[in-house]
Amino acid sequence: MEDVVIAGAGPNGLMLACELALAGIRPLVLERLPEPTTENRANGLVGQVVRLLDRRGLHERLAGPIGPPAPAFVFGAMRLDLTLAEHNSLHILGVPQREVAAMLTERAGELGVEIRRGHALTGLAQGTDAVTIDVEGPDGGYRLDARYLVGADGGRSVTRKLSGIGFPGVTEDRTLSCTAHATVPADLVDPMTGELRVAGHVIPPFFHYRTETGLFVHAPFPTGNLVTTMEWTDDEIDEDRPMTLEEMAESIRRVLGTDLPIGPPEGDGPHLLRRLRGRNTRLADHFRAGRVLLVGDAAHVHSAIGGPGLNLGLQDAVGLGWKLAAELHGWAPPGLLDTYERERRPVAERVVMHTQAQAALITPGGDVTALRELFGELLRQPSTVQHIADLMSGADVRYEAATGHPLDGRWAPDLVLADGTRLAELTRTARPLLLDFTASLGEELRGWTDRVDLVEGKADGDATALLVRPDGYVAWASSSSEPDETERKALRAALERWFGTPLDV
Ligand SMILES: Cc1cc2nc3c(=O)[nH]c(=O)nc-3n(C[C@H](O)[C@H](O)[C@H](O)COP(=O)(O)OP(=O)(O)OC[C@H]3O[C@@H](n4cnc5c(N)ncnc54)[C@H](O)[C@@H]3O)c2cc1C
């Protein structure tokens, strides 16, 4: 009997596999495709997920040490000047999804995870103690039993469908998005700013540029220059007709009202030439049905605007991993696994909300232009920029908090200890941590030392002690130099609430 079978070796299934392995559970990953996909999806990661990768030592593998937050971003094709925000925590990591998946595959391998490529989940039946899974592999069909099955099998999740979880939402079919790797004439690009200047349009790089007929983006990635358009149309499109550079150029002409002479891409590729019709916004009714759980796109799909997909999905995986492992190790307090849906579904709801709001802000039309003018005025106010930045990064997420401490339920701040050690270096084992800068709380941890690590020392900031869950969220915090009995009691309650009954010591 397998402990956990994960259907899907996309980024979210792989991240979950790594998290489970760190927590001492070896999952089996089934992946339908025989080889890693070359499909070009995400061009980058946006938000807390960048800090999350740092906290697992994975940022370094992709791009070296983590840098400062971004000075600017876009919301609904409007510039977000992040220098206006008092606490800017919006990080961006411009790494293609393929590289993220390749890095996670390598990491999973190091942690001893088995990935069976060319093996698709085709059926499932839930029993009291196990899920029976039908698999179609290169040598035919076979059956597996697992204590838990996680569907990380993308937006069309077979796992979700077979487990009877509804996926309500909307399919919007008027949008037409074209994307291509293509060169643009060098004399149209400002060498200092990277702005594309054509027929009166001044289009910053990576910026969503809205006109009255659509949206245009030129993104000079190190892997090649990408041009993208979005239009709204009722026209029938022959989706089987292969996309061409000419079609891309025609779409750009309609959006910008002028010709932009694009040419074939440089370099070896793989090069993107893609037409996407329509957009799905859907959220699973439940993220859990008995012994079946969903993560990532299997649980939610939405517009890719602003790049929130992997911020959401990879944090689903990290939110679920330790709880599932605790269940399998036998120390999970009652109801721990149900907190996965309770915590992550509202976060997904917020992403659905802001991607739909952005989709509304980019549509053509005079009324939308007026709305944008008003929104533009609001975006000059620091508090609005802060609000939107926190929404997009996920810094506004607050899980269940049992105390009134402002950090309780929040993502733990990026602390640096007096000896220079960063919290992000202490969290690489994915173990729960009690950070105690009062040198007085070790005694409280007595019954949990098998599950929770104690870190003593000193650090700047208001907090004098923090109980940090493996997913980076704070389960309890203090700002007292000598926490009193009420705070200690709350600490013991938090330890029991998240990490189970204390050992009899
Ligand atoms: C055009 C586009 C641009 C995007 N840009 C961004 C961006 O810039 N930033 C960002 O963060 N996000 C972006 N996203 C979203 C991001 O790509 C997704 O959120 C991400 O791929 C979800 O990962 P996942 O692991 O949940 O699912 P997937 O990546 O879909 O992986 C699912 C895996 O499951 C496998 N599978 C399916 N069925 C089965 C089965 N029955 N048995 C076994 N295996 C199965 C599939 O082969 C696949 O490998 C973009 C998406 C699109 C479409």
39 and 149 housed in the same domain: yes
121 and 43 housed in the same domain: yes
Q: Which domain holds residue 485?
A: 423-499
Q: What does the pLDDT read at residue 164?
A: 96
User: For residue 66, what are its two tokens?
Assistant: 């983590």
Q: What does the pLDDT read at residue 239?
A: 85
293 and 270 housed in the same domain: no
Distance 30 CA to ligand 1 centre (A): 15
Last residue of a domain, one of 250, 280, 310: 280
The predicted-structure confidence for 338-364, as pLDDT tens digits, reads as follows: 999 999 999 999 999 999 999 999 999
Does residue 136 sit within a domain?
Answer: yes
**23: CATH:** 3.50.50.60
295 and 146 housed in the same domain: yes
User: For residue 63, what are its two tokens?
Assistant: 């791009």
Does residue 411 sit within a domain?
Answer: no
156 and 304 housed in the same domain: yes
The CA-atom distances, in angstroms, between 276 and each of 145, 335, 364 are: 38, 41, 18
Q: What does the pLDDT read at residue 39?
A: 84
Does residue 439 sit within a domain?
Answer: yes
Q: What is the mean pLDDT of residues 147-153?
A: 98
Does residue 139 sit within a domain?
Answer: yes
Phi first, then psi: give them for residue 372, nearest 5 degrees: -65, -35
How far apart CA 352 and CA 344 sit, in angstroms, is 12
- Report which protein residue has its CA nearest ligand 1's atom 2: 41
Distance 388 CA to ligand 1 centre (A): 25
- Does residue 478 contact residue 412 with C-beta atoms inside 8 Å? no
What number does the ligand 1 atom closest to the CA of 157 have?
A: 38
DSSP string across 232-288: E--S---TTSPP-HHHHHHHHHHHHSS----BPPPSS----EEEEEEEEEEE-S-SE
The number of angstroms, rounded, from the C-alpha of 476 to the middle of its chain's C-alpha atoms is 24
202 and 127 housed in the same domain: no
188 and 161 housed in the same domain: no
User: For residue 348, what are its two tokens?
Assistant: 């997904």
**481: CATH:** 3.40.30.120
Distance 298 CA to ligand 1 centre (A): 9
**265: CATH:** 3.30.70.2450
195 and 321 housed in the same domain: no
pLDDT band at 59 (very low <50, low <70, confident <90, very high): very high
The yes-or-no verdict on residue 223 having pLDDT over 80 is no
Q: What does the pLDDT read at residue 495?
A: 98
CA-CA-CA-CA dihedral for 268, 270, 273, 276, to nearest 10: -160
Last residue of a domain, one of 237, 261, 280: 280
Q: What is the mean pLDDT of residues 227-252?
A: 94
- Does residue 223 contact residue 270 with C-beta atoms inside 8 Å? no
Measured in Å, how far apart are the chain's first and last C-alpha atoms?
A: 33
The predicted-structure confidence for 263-313, as pLDDT tens digits, reads as follows: 999 888 788 999 999 999 999 999 999 999 999 999 999 999 999 999 999
Phi first, then psi: give them for residue 234, nearest 5 degrees: -100, -5
11 and 140 housed in the same domain: yes
- Does residue 393 contact residue 85 with C-beta atoms inside 8 Å? no
Last residue of a domain, one of 374, 409, 434: 374
- Does residue 158 contact residue 121 with C-beta atoms inside 8 Å? yes
Q: Where are the alpha helices (DSSP H) in 338-484?
A: 338-362, 366-378, 382-393, 423-426
487 and 345 housed in the same domain: no
- Helices and strands, counts by H and E, the chain: 12, 24
Does residue 464 sit within a domain?
Answer: yes
Q: Which amino acid is at 408?
A: D
Distance 216 CA to ligand 1 centre (A): 24
258 and 317 housed in the same domain: no
Does residue 6 sit within a domain?
Answer: yes
The yes-or-no verdict on residue 224 having pLDDT over 90 is no
* Kind of pairing between the strands at 201-203 and 196-198: antiparallel
Q: What does the pLDDT read at residue 161?
A: 98
126 and 15 housed in the same domain: yes
How far apart CA 249 and CA 145 sit, in angstroms, is 52
Candidate of 16, 41, 53, 93 to mutate for ligand 1, largest count of ligand atoms within 8 Å of Cβ: 41
pLDDT band at 260 (very low <50, low <70, confident <90, very high): very high
Q: What does the pLDDT read at residue 162?
A: 98
DSSP string across 145-167: EEEEEEE---TT-HHHHHTT---
Q: Enumerate residues lining ligand 1, CB below 6 A.
A: 7-13, 30-33, 37, 41-45, 97, 120-121, 152-154, 158, 296-298, 304, 307, 309-311, 313
Does residue 416 sit within a domain?
Answer: no
- Report which protein residue has its CA nearest ligand 1's atom 18: 309
- Report which protein residue has its CA nearest ligand 1's atom 9: 307
Q: How many domains does the chain have?
A: 3
Phi first, then psi: give them for residue 292, nearest 5 degrees: -110, 130
Q: What is the mean pLDDT of residues 111-136?
A: 98
In 3D space, the residue among 19, 10, 13, 93 whose CA is nearest the CA of residue 56 turns out to be 19
Does residue 82 sit within a domain?
Answer: no
- Report which protein residue has its CA nearest ligand 1's atom 12: 309
* Kind of pairing between the strands at 2-7 and 140-151: parallel
